[in-house]
Amino acid sequence: MCGIVGAVRESDTSGFLLEGLRRLEYRGYDSAGVVVINQSGRLERARTVGKVKELERALTQTPLAGTTGLAHTRWATHGGVSETNAHPHICNGTLALVCNGIVENHEALRHSQQEAGLAFTSQTDTEVVVHQVYLHLQNGLDLADAVRATMDELAGSFALAVVHAGEPGRLVAARQGPPLLLGRAEKESFVASDINALLPATRRYQVLENGDVADIRGASCAIKDSGGSPVERVIHTSTQSGAGAELGEHRHFMQKEIHEQPRAVSDTLEDRLLGDRVLEDAFGSEAGRIFDATRQVLIIACGTSYHAGLVARHWLEYVGVPCEVEVASEYRYRRHAAREGTLVVTISQSGETADTLAALEEAKRQGVVGALVVCNVAESSLVRESDLVFMTHCGPEVGVASTKTFVSAMTGLLLLALVLSRRHGFDSGFEAHVVHQIRTLPGALEAALAMEDAIAEMAQVFSDKEHALFLGRGAHFPIAMEGALKLKEISYIHAEAYPAGELKHGPLALVDEKMPVVAVAPNDLLIEKLKSNLEEVRARRGRLYLFADPASGLESREDVTVLHVAPVDSAIAPIIYTVPLQLLSYHVALIKGTDVDKPRNLAKSVTVE
């Protein structure tokens, strides 16, 4: 969500800034812009609505050149999607600023700035930030001190970067919430909200902490902490690939990432299993000590990651570990009754989800035995803030709708349940059985992917549909929730998920011949209960679309379409039954003609509240 790129270089920086924005496109945005200080010491700016390619087209027609500059992709909050609301924002022709986040007291600041005679050209909360810095400059403060003074006056969560036309070769950056990284090279320096944007120029980077202000001049950088004291931040070396993700033979990144799931799970399992056992050190060197002290698990996540946590609750409670699962944005604002021996587990593809980070901080204040993160980005804030780390080795996930990171996160959570089961009376035979099933995951995922042609045909039925109902029972109710979310995200069809047993408590009122009902039906202990629920749908003339185990006894008929999923053990069934629902949503979106990889109004990485 939003993206910052900035640079102080020896050569022209406009090409680097544009490439940085391309590498941040996955985060989600609706407009883009760039500003440079030209050779005459003036600010030159270009802004466009839409994709980065629109900005690139504008720059081809009217090139910008300068060694110091900023670029930004905006995801609209305050103010609509327009060129005037796009970043960078400029004050009095001399000061340019980009910002991620939300300024909560922008209205009061805007009023005082208007009284001071400053004119506004946008409806954004960000414009008050550049004006406030400008006012402090007018009062005699240095640029870095003006940024510090402004930070003290802002309420909210934000990261920003600013340049002054009168000081080419200088850039000031600050963080109070959303992530911000400094890239370090031999003679140049960079700033970005994501490591991907830095990789074309450098692998060496520093992480700004909350309250930090960085004063960048060429290759030098002076950082002061929230108290204004000089501080050194560790210089890290990124191990991520600098190569951009390629589509290959696939039409969209989402389709590519769905098909990468067998490899993603295989890579995630690599070096985590030894014979019939899960290696405890896969979670970190302190795992044994922390797991010994664990009496219950608190899972905190958002969106798709939240659904993974709901599945994990079934696994953890099966092995005797009490588990609560919380939506991060709700947890952080509720009073809690702390429980002794709690292990807090966060789940996040990016590791930068603002609500999850804040919720983790709150959980730590309550007192926990440790924090474990399940994440796909090693160089992320949640990884840095956690005691234990389980990396999902999925590689870049470009599509906004998470797919391979969801199944890999569930795989990691299943391993966690096995490790904790040893402390709750389950013997090595139980673990060996489940590990054997886990080793079959890549092959079982391949078998599920082979259903794509049949699922594409099923998807035709949804071409004129506006609503859909998803059903599941037990650990498969969260999978139904994920299926409904995917359909909403990329096809814009309104979809809801319910536990199948809840039909009679309300959702049956929605069922008619126009409402497709999708259900997952593994051959588990709840299959007969599920069949009864499905008959309730048929009795109301509802049309059923089922993904079922061949041994379930469910077969296609006039008002029921059944696609059989190859039999799998109940331990891994939730992971496998995810795939048909992903493919269904994808092919429905193709029919609807939506932007599959970048659905409207959504961002890949939600770094603000």
Q: How many CB atoms lie within 10 A of CB 433?
A: 13
Is residue 266 classed exposed, middle or buried when 0-12, 13-18 and 19+ CB atoms within 10 A define those classes? middle
Pairing status of strand 156-164 against strand 204-207: unpaired
CA neighbor of 5 nearest in space, from 201, 231, 149, 166: 201
Phi and psi at 314, nearest 5°, equal -60, -45
Give pLDDT < 70 ranges for the chain: 1, 26-28, 241-245, 539, 603-609
pLDDT of the residue at 2:
80
The helix/strand count (H/E) of the chain reads as: 20, 27
Torsion angle of alpha carbons 118, 121, 127, 128, nearest 10°?
30
- Whose CA is closest to 549, among 533, 532, 527? 527
DSSP-derived 3-state class of residue 153: helix
pLDDT at 557: 86
Topology alike, domains 247-439 and 449-597: yes
Q: Which pLDDT value is given to residue 607?
A: 55
Q: Residue 316's pLDDT is what? A: 98
**Interstrand relation of 31-37 and 68-74 (parallel, antiparallel or unpaired):** antiparallel
- Distance in angstroms (rounded) separating the CA atoms of residues 258 and 546: 20
pLDDT at residue 244, rounded to an integer: 47
Distance CA 200, CA 50 (A): 24
pLDDT at 604: 61
Would you say 101 and 77 are in contact if contact means Cβ atoms under 8 Å apart?
A: no
CATH assignment of 3-237, among 3.40.50.360, 3.40.1190.20, 3.60.20.10, 3.30.450.20: 3.60.20.10
Give the tokens for residue 399.
Answer: 């599509």
Residue 542: predicted pLDDT: 72
pLDDT at residue 245, as a whole number: 59
**Phi, psi torsion values for 286, nearest 5 degrees:** -95, 10
592's tokens:
């609807």
Domain range annotation of the chain: 3-237, 247-439, 449-597
pTM, entire model: 0.79
SS3 (DSSP) at 175? strand
DSSP string covering 224-239: E-TTS-EE--PEEE--
- Rounded to whole angstroms, the Cα distance separating 216 from 171 reads 5
For residue 296, CA distances in Å to 34, 57, 316, 323, 365 come to 49, 55, 9, 6, 17
Residues 466/285, Cβ–Cβ less than 8 Å = no
Cα–Cα distance for residue pair 327/430, rounded to 1 Å? 31
Pick the CATH number of 449-597 from 3.40.50.11610, 3.40.50.10490, 3.40.50.300, 3.40.50.150: 3.40.50.10490
Active-site residue set: 2, 604
**What number does CATH give the domain 247-439?**
3.40.50.10490
Please name the residue that has the structure tokens 């999925």. Answer: 394
Gap between the Cα atoms of 58 and 12, Å rounded: 17
Which residue, chain included where needed, has tokens 């926990």?
A: 368
Sequence-separated (6 or more) residues with CB below 8 Å from residue 195: 181, 205, 238, 240, 379
The pLDDT score that the predictor gives to residue 95 is 97
Q: Tokens standing for 391?
A: 């990396």
Backbone torsions φ then ψ of 72, nearest 5 degrees? -160, 140
